[in-house]
Each structure stands twice: as structure tokens, then as C-alpha cells.
Amino acid sequence: MKEIVVISGKGGTGKTSITASFAVLGGKDVVVADCDVDAADMHLLLKPDFAYKEKFYSGKVAEIIQDECIKCGKCKDVCRFDAVPIIDDNYVIDELNCEGCGYCSYVCPTDAIIMKDSLSGDFFISKTRIGNTLVHAKLAIAADNSGKLVTQVRTEAKKIAEENNIPYIIADGSPGIGCPVVASVTGSNLVVIVTEPTVSGLHDMSRVAELISKFGIKSVCIINKADLNRNITIGIREFLDNKKIPLIAELPYDLAFADAITAGKTIVEHNDGIIKSTIEESWKKILELV
């Protein structure tokens, strides 16, 4: 079983459109994982049935059991995050501010403070309209995107692939270069970097490529909107050459991407021309390389 993760560094490069296309092209041979848990969009194209749902907890948050509190104020003294306001003469926890460090619970003389698991999202396993399985999640508001939910999505996708003898996992990776993206790529077999020829696109993709090479994972690149700025596209090609990252496709700047999203379809189902054939070609190359 091989795991392919698509990432982009910055948003708006067409990463999700391309990943969803691979999900369609792979059909029953892939399990799909949406690791972009902060703002998951894959479900809008693959129309999953949300058949299985589970609450997801991560980190801790403090709670004061009022009956046991003797109002000594020690918790408020030690809290570095302004998370213990006094309301109506009672010490209470402001959950939005509480960092979950647990210091207050160490110093409370009456053990009135418990550290609860903090609810940080929902986790789903679905059948998609194309008949394959999608593992996805939704991070709760103000939750800390630590990579744990991403890990859970990947672990579950792996399990499903192994149990059903499905050869590939295709994952929509997290954006950025922080913890969540690290959690999306570690231990995967191939990373597909989708970038665009803009100053910020080039800047972000070089940071992402650096990160991937640190983990020693094989990567390939797709330049989307390649005709938007020829000079930067050439710059990206040179960069890839230097880093020995194969460039597997260049796609044109085309409003068909937005049209497909609006129609609730993937670009390969919506377009019959060069975009479709290019993405099909790159999927083949990916399967050869992985």
C-alpha cells in the first residue's frame, strides 16, 4: 500500500481540485484522506455520505468544581494566560484563553480543578459518490491544529486500505509549513507539490520543498496556472532542477477550475481538453514513481 500526499504551502493553488481529480481517476483503487482539517473542502466535490462520525478530543482544558473551591486564588495567581476570571465572586475558567497547561491543578489546595479533554473537532468516514472511501474531519473553532487530527485521518485511511487490499491512499495535505503539514507527510511514500508562478507561490514552495527534503521523502511537482507568469515558471523549473524534483505537469491558468467547483465536480469530470489529459498523464506518472 502506497500513500501519496498532495501539498502546496500557500492556499489557492488548486491543490484540492487536483487531489480530488486523482481521487476520481484512482476510483476503487484509492482511499481518499482529507488532511486539510482546518478548512476541508474535498467533501464538496466528492459528496460523501458522512456515514460514520466520531467526536475528536485533543489537549486539555481546566474546569473548577465550585463545591470544592475555597476561593484561595492560587489558580489565578499562577495562570500565565489570564484564563481564571472572577465572575459573581467565583473563580471560573475562561475556556477560550485556557492553554491547558495544568499548572492551576497542581497548586490547588483542595484539588478542585480537573483537567478535561478538550473537544477539538469531528472525524468522519464516508463513502463518496464515486464509490471509494473518504476519511475526513472538521476542526472545531479555536482548536489547536496540532497535527493530531491529521494523524488520526491518515491512520484510519491506512487501516481501511490495508483491510480491503486497496493499493493507494491519496491525501489532500494541510496548508502551510507548520505542524499539520509535517503530520500530513511524515512516513508517506510520495509528496506531490502543487504550486503557481507567483512571487508568493515560489517563496512558499521553496520552504515546503526544504521541509520535505528534511524528511527524506520523494517529491514531484505540478505547476498550476503556468502561463500566468512565464518568468516565474522558468524560475520554478530551475529550482526544481537544482533540487532534483521531477516536474510532472504544467497546467494553464483557466477559469474551468472555478467552473468545475461551482458545478460540484472535479476538473477531470468537467473538462474534456488539455487539462483533463494533463492530469490523467500526471496520475499515471505518479503511479509509476511511487
Partner 1 sequence: MKIAIASGKGGTGKTTLAVNLASYIAGLEDVTGKVVLVDMDVEEPNSGLFIKGDLMKSEIKYRMVPEWIGDKCTFCKKCAGVCNFNALAYIGVSVLIFPELCHSCYACSELCPEDALPMKADRMGELRHYSISDNLHFVESRLDIGIEQAVPLIKETHDFLKSEYDESDIKIVDSPPGTSCPVIEAVKDADLVVLVTEPTPFGLNDLKLAVDTMKELDKRFAVVINRSGIGNDEVERYCFDNGISLIGKIPQMQLAAELYSKGQLMIEIDEIKREIDKIWRNIVELK
Partner 2 sequence: MKIVFAATGGNWDSKVDSRFGRAEGFVLYDEEKDELSWHSNAENKAAGHGAGVQAGQKVVSLGADVVVTGGNFGPKAAEVIQAAGIRMIPDAGEVTLKEAYTKIKK
For residues 97 and 198, which CB has a smaller minimum distance to partner 2 in the complex? 97
- Phi/psi at 287 (5° precision): -65, -30
Residue 164, binding choice from ligand SF4, partner 1, partner 2, none, Cβ under 5 to 8 Å by partner class: none
Report how far Cα 102 is from the mean position of its chain's Cα atoms.
28
Q: Where are the alpha helices (DSSP H) in the chain?
A: 15-26, 42-46, 74-78, 103-107, 148-163, 179-185, 199-214, 230-243, 256-262, 267-270, 274-289
Question: What residues between 170 and 189 interact with partner 2 by CB under 8 A?
Answer: 179, 186-187
Question: What residues between 1 and 20 interact with ligand SF4 by CB under 6 A?
Answer: none
Report how far Cα 70 is from the mean position of its chain's Cα atoms.
44
Tell me the residue type at 4.
I
For residues 177 and 287, which CB has a smaller minimum distance to partner 1 in the complex? 177
Cα(260)–Cα(262) distance, integer angstroms: 5
Please list, in sequence order, all residues whose beta carbon lies within 8 angstroms of the beta carbon of residue 145, skipping any fewer than 6 positions away: 37, 38, 139, 174, 179, 180
For residues 154 and 276, which CB has a smaller minimum distance to partner 2 in the complex? 154
Q: Is 100 in the site for ligand SF4 (CB under 6 A)?
A: yes
Choose one: 35-43, 61-69, 122-130, 239-247; the region binding ligand SF4 (CB under 6 A).
Answer: 61-69
Q: Is 103 in the site for ligand SF4 (CB under 6 A)?
A: yes
Which run of H or E residues covers position 58?
Answer: strand 52-64
- 66 DSSP 8-state letter: G
Residue 83, binding choice from partner 2, partner 1, ligand SF4, none, Cβ under 5 to 8 Å by partner class: ligand SF4
- 38 DSSP 8-state letter: T
- Residue 78 CB neighbours (<10 A): 14
For residues 189 and 198, which CB has a smaller minimum distance to partner 1 in the complex? 198
Residue 58, binding choice from partner 2, partner 1, ligand SF4, none, Cβ under 5 to 8 Å by partner class: partner 2
Binding site residues, partner 2, CB under 8 A: 57-59, 144, 146-148, 151, 155, 179, 186-187, 215-216
Residue numbers at the binding site for partner 1 (CB under 8 A): 9-13, 16, 38-39, 41, 44, 59-60, 78, 80-81, 96, 99-103, 106, 115, 139, 141-145, 175-179, 196-201, 203-204, 207, 225, 228-229, 232, 253, 255, 258-259, 261-262, 264
